[in-house]
Structure 1
Amino acid sequence: MFDQSFTLLLRRLGLLLALYMLLRIVFYLFNLSTFAEASPTTTLLAFVHGLRFDIAAVLIINGLFILLSLLPIGNTLAPTYQRILKWVFVLFNAPFLALALVDLEFFKFIGRRSSNELFTITDDIADQVGQLASYYWYLGLGFILLLLILVKFYPDVSPKKSTLPPVWLRCLRLLLVAGFVVLGIRGGLQLKPLRPNHAFVLQPSTLGHLTLNTPFTFIKGIGQTQLEEKHYFGTDEALLAALPFDPNRFVQPENPIQKENVVIIILESFSAEYVGALNEGKGYTPFLDSLASEGVLFRNAFANGRKSIEALPSILASVPSLMQDPFITSPFQANELYGLGTILEKAGYHTAMFHGAANGSMGFNNFASRAGIEEYYGLDEYPAALKSKDFDGQWGIFDEPYLQYVAHQLSELEQPFMATVFTLSSHQPYTVPAQYKGFFPKGDLEIHESIGYADYALKEFFKTASKQPWYDSTLFILTADHTQMSNVPAYQNELGHYRVPLLLFHPAKDISEIDPEQIAQHTDVLPTVVDYLNIPTDKVLPFGHSLLDSTDAAHALLYNGSSYFLVQQGKVAELTPDEQVRFYSFADMAPASPAPTAEQQLKAYVQYFRNGMSGNKLYFWLKR
């Protein structure tokens, strides 16, 4: 099996891996200031972790070369055949090496490894090719040097005569190699194939850019949606002036940091229409209703997306879902980002996330790391002795045992802490444990029974949590990731598709002065936590506002796949794909007279989001 054709293939692919590592070293030196905060040890780990992405990129690019090298028929060591192989090797790899070289400088402009945005600027590059070539002459020189290395050090066939294995063995070898190639491209046996956000596992998170390589991010970006920039406002200053937002709003809090714990509970598929406290007592959530009577339940709260994968960026990083692709899987997933974990870590907080599904599900573990969350507890971390008994047969651990596990695990965390908990039992197929069959109302929809079970699990969680030493010094924030099936006409409209519960509860404090009638949304969670704890930071995005501050302009931002919506108290503005602006009254969505301020704000939010994402400048004021 390890004849000359196979060893030649390994040596040739090894040459590419060596070049990729060399390019990573040069990339590091060109962008040294970006990684200045990282220790030598974590920087070295970023280099080592990068091998995983290098292997994936090399295998994707060289799939045809590998097949031709190990073709089970004919003499693959013949001189003519080997010359053809060499041309295939050089022609397939040279363009991607060129991309990696370009990123030595382009990274300084966009702050991330290049993706398919290069397709959108090809005309500009063509127009400026002469100027660019003269200004960045050293990149051209570097490319020539790389080509020379590629050709000069390309392993050639040994003059010593070599016998090829029999055809059956070559066929078997090709099948085995194909399996390893698929494994290498996937990045391992984990649940989800390797994606750019898997690189952001070290702190500081900027090391993820060092771990990645440009060929990998470019390939992963092919076919993904790009955002066309908008220019309703000519300057950044004009854009900020149109928004009810001050980047320095939380820079110097009036009071010292309040070192209380925060627990954010995200309830799977808990539409507002299932909550009795929001529907004159008609619902399936008796415990959540009772909690609402002791806390603040916002009557006009919205998710910023329609999927679970869209909820986490909105809640933990204040990034709404205003594009076709979820942020977690979008071409912009490697953009500069400051999540709640990153902000709280500076204030001495310990952070963790709990989700009872398989590690890697929806990329939650990797995004949690990107948001600065230190520890992730998924299905892999759940006690092995209990796993088979508590597994729901589909997604993960049933809510009741999992939330009990979370309650006790929180007691192991060093205070102050911020923990995020994501439930799952009310997800399709809405499985209820056998011992609770018939225990909860069946309702009119198949999800209703599982909502009752999840609400009961929540009740048991709070019963256990109330006995823990951290309970009385904890702010609880409860919401749902998104809505689900509906049978209530009042919710079967554009806004109803996004209505979720959002509840603030503190067992030892009176927070009743907070206005429950204000518009609320997922992106409000981060600024609300920052405001409540008096955390000094300049890294809060404009898409949300603090629910504690009645002087802020409360709003919600929604995107239905074609139109953008700005929801404010009394009015709704819609920006259509053909740039028409329509106005409605809130909440019946009846046509209304124009609201010029709402129109300007909606256009400002859209421009801020689209241009900030495509140019990786969501936090552009930090660079002033």
Structure 2
Amino acid sequence: MYWLLLFALSRAAFLVYHYGLTVTLSGGEVVRTFVYGARLDASAAAYLCFVPFALLIAGSTWRRLPVGKLVAAYTAVVGLLVALMSTADLELYRAWGFRLDSTPLQYLGSPGEMAASAGSAPLGVLGLVLLSLLLLGWVLYRWLLTPLPPLPPAFPLIRAVTAGLLYAVLLVVPLRGGVQQIPVNQSDVYFSAAHPFANHAAINVPWNVAQSMPLRELRENPYNYMPDSTAARMVSELYKVPAQIAADSAAGLVTTPKPNVLFIILESFTAKLVGHLGGKKGVTPTLDSLARVGVSFEHLYASGDRSQKGIVSLLSGYPTQPNTSIIKFPRKTAQLPSLAQSLGNAGYSTSFYYGGELAFANMKAYLLSSGYRHLVERQDFAQKEQNSKWGAHDHVLFRRVLQELRQQSKPFFATAFTLSSHEPFDVPGQNRSFDNQDEETFFRNSVAYTDHTLGQFLQAARREAWWPNTLVVLVADHGHQLPGWMPVYEPRKFHIPLLLTGGALNPAYAGRSVATFGSQTDVAATLLSSLRLPTTDYRWSRNLLGPAPAAAPGGFAFFCFTDGFGMMTPRGRTVFDNVSRDRLTTDPVLPTQQRQGQAYQQRSFADFLQK
């Protein structure tokens, strides 16, 4: 209770200090910053309470231990740190636009620079806030925690220790934010699509600092293969296509000037199971039939191997990182361009549909900051519809999308993300009791199920009034090791489908197969160019319907895996290990392509660090 009240006071100080931003919020939004923020507050409080609980347990076994004084000393030290962080955060937020994390710790070795940075801060006001928080903390402590009630003389030692241990174990529940499957993270306190400041106000500063500590080492670029100027020039040449040529090449894709866009992301859809891409026949008849009447891309590769990486690559046209993901850093993702923002600025309504929990991997924070105004996730489905371990199966998801698109204002940009083909592949109607069925069979069946429900959804969508004016984008979030359990670096694991279809697709494009090599990052520029919208903010994305750059005839695709990268072109494939600084396959060495991949790795990670 002490820490929860102290955190509430700190949040109140934050809202008052930034009054100019607070007045833009409604009264309900101000209240929700406290309600939603309570989850991170409780998590931080649970962490801070472990030491007092340990002292209480020790005091139960050794009655002469001055538990009250030790708890008071601990609370004083930690309370001072919390007050200092909360006060520093007030002015740093004004300068940086994000809540305090471990970033300032990099300046501890440069006290002169730190002092210079604080030169313009209102130190008198901040000092007053600090003293106020310390005074209020002292008052709360005197009110709630003194005197510490002594243990009754007749209370048995075993009973006291058992009770203490039980309470300590119960701290795990608020520590992880509840009993749900995914531990609490920043996404759980993001609630406002219109006001990022409201989401930021709900963040608990001590929790944010502690959570970002393991990420502090990401300050230096370990992928320096060449002079930065050389790397920058090589990467620039990979995207050097005359802007007008690139725009004109896709201008005739749609028949209407401002079509709806239905963007469907298919979980784990690997090309190894897609018939028209050379995969197993009969698993994806829907995608295979759409390839005959729409636009199919033969050589598209996922940027990474996880959903959170694929989402950013697809929706922001941004490359992945080998050992982390930018989605873990909300202050970095806030600087990325996004399709939702670009289309929202063009007058589109924006929505995102997912049958699982958007708090997973911090996706909710990313989606809200990227411009989505309407989110539907697991908690928005009835309990009986949450018929999967991850949430609502894909047929339930598509049914919800179909219902809501009828009422959604036009034009719309609606994104649906499937989940049934995610482990453990427990799709409806699948009998898992047969001994001859292995993991590959379950995975294949789950992909077939999603493909089938997708076909049913599109068949129903063709009868809707919005269909003739709609472009549908179908693409996977990443590939999969199955079938075949390929190595993590195997390029075929990253090969995924990309299809364009819908009532707004120009019939002249029906059945077209695009042979150029491309990456998930290129989907954004391809879509925006087709809609005659600017793509200048998408520096890592190129129009796949336009001419390939002279530096990479036939196009290129760059992907990352754990501490390594791959570079795919029509000339061959390069797979490189960043640790051993050597290639991982026996493919012929392509020196120019390897240098291009190294330059891309170096520059893309440098860009990530600078955000």
Q: Is 1:455 the counterpart of 2:442 in the alignment?
A: no
**1:190-223, CA deviations, whole angstroms, 9 ceiling, x for partnerless residues?**
5422212334331233543332233121111233
**1:73-101, CA deviations, whole angstroms, 9 ceiling, x for partnerless residues?**
4999x996544332211112322332333
CA gap of 1:477–1:18, structure 2 versus 1, over 3 A, is closer
Question: The residue matched to 1:420 in structure 2 has which SS?
Answer: strand
Question: The residue matched to 1:434 in structure 2 has which SS?
Answer: coil
1-structure distance, mates of 2:312, 2:283: 28
Q: CA deviation at 1:502?
A: 0.9
Question: The residue matched to 1:322 in structure 2 has which SS?
Answer: coil
Q: Contact between 1:583 and 1:593, CA under 8 Å: does it hold in 2?
A: no
Q: Is 1:512 the counterpart of 2:509 in the alignment?
A: yes
Q: How many residues align?
A: 586
Q: CA deviation at 1:477?
A: 0.9
2-structure distance, mates of 1:71, 1:288: 64
Q: Which residues of 2 match residues 105-504 of structure 1 at below 5 A?
A: 105-107=91-93, 110-125=96-111, 128=113, 138=123, 141=127, 145=131, 149=135, 153=139, 155-156=141-142, 166=152, 167=155, 178=168, 181-188=171-178, 190-202=180-192, 203-224=194-215, 226-230=217-221, 232-233=227-228, 244=239, 258-279=257-278, 282=281, 284-329=283-328, 335-358=334-357, 360-383=359-382, 387=385, 391-392=387-388, 394-434=389-429, 445-446=440-441, 447-486=443-482, 494-504=490-500
Question: The residue matched to 1:17 in structure 2 has which SS?
Answer: helix
Q: Contact between 2:103 and 2:216, CA under 8 Å: does it hold in 1?
A: no
**Amino acid in the other structure paired with 2:10:** Y
Q: Which deviates the most, 212-221 or 367-376? A: 367-376
Q: CA deviation at 1:400?
A: 3.7
Q: CA deviation at 1:600?
A: 5.8
CA gap of 1:87–1:459, structure 2 versus 1, over 3 A, is same
2-structure distance, mates of 1:187, 1:249: 51
Question: The residue matched to 1:222 in structure 2 has which SS?
Answer: helix
Q: Is 1:560 the counterpart of 2:561 in the alignment?
A: yes
Q: What is the TM-score of this pair, normalised by structure 2?
A: 0.79
2-structure distance, mates of 1:145, 1:563: 50
Question: The residue matched to 1:293 in structure 2 has which SS?
Answer: helix
Q: Contact between 1:200 and 1:370, CA under 8 Å: does it hold in 2?
A: no
2-structure distance, mates of 1:406, 1:358: 16
Q: Is 1:532 the counterpart of 2:533 in the alignment?
A: no
Q: Contact between 2:304 and 2:320, CA under 8 Å: does it hold in 1?
A: yes
Q: Contact between 1:46 and 1:210, CA under 8 Å: does it hold in 2?
A: no
CA gap of 1:426–1:104, structure 2 versus 1, over 3 A, is same
Cα RMSD after superposing both structures:
4.7
Where do 5+ consecutive residues of structure 1 fail to align?
1-9, 617-624
Question: The residue matched to 1:65 in structure 2 has which SS?
Answer: helix
Q: Contact between 1:337 and 1:370, CA under 8 Å: does it hold in 2?
A: no
Where do 5+ consecutive residues of structure 2 fail to align?
none
- Match for residue 48 of structure 2 among 42, 51, 61: 61
**Residue in 1 aligned with 2:592?**
594
Question: The residue matched to 2:500 in structure 1 has which SS?
Answer: strand
Q: CA deviation at 1:469?
A: 1.1
Q: Contact between 1:315 and 1:526, CA under 8 Å: does it hold in 2?
A: yes
Q: Contact between 1:62 and 1:89, CA under 8 Å: does it hold in 2?
A: no
**Residue in 2 aligned with 1:543?**
540
**Residue in 2 aligned with 1:87?**
73
2-structure distance, mates of 1:90, 1:357: 42
2-structure distance, mates of 1:489, 1:95: 49
2-structure distance, mates of 1:75, 1:491: 56
CA gap of 1:289–1:147, structure 2 versus 1, over 3 A, is closer
Q: Which deviates the most, 133-142 or 56-65? A: 133-142
CA gap of 1:404–1:524, structure 2 versus 1, over 3 A, is same
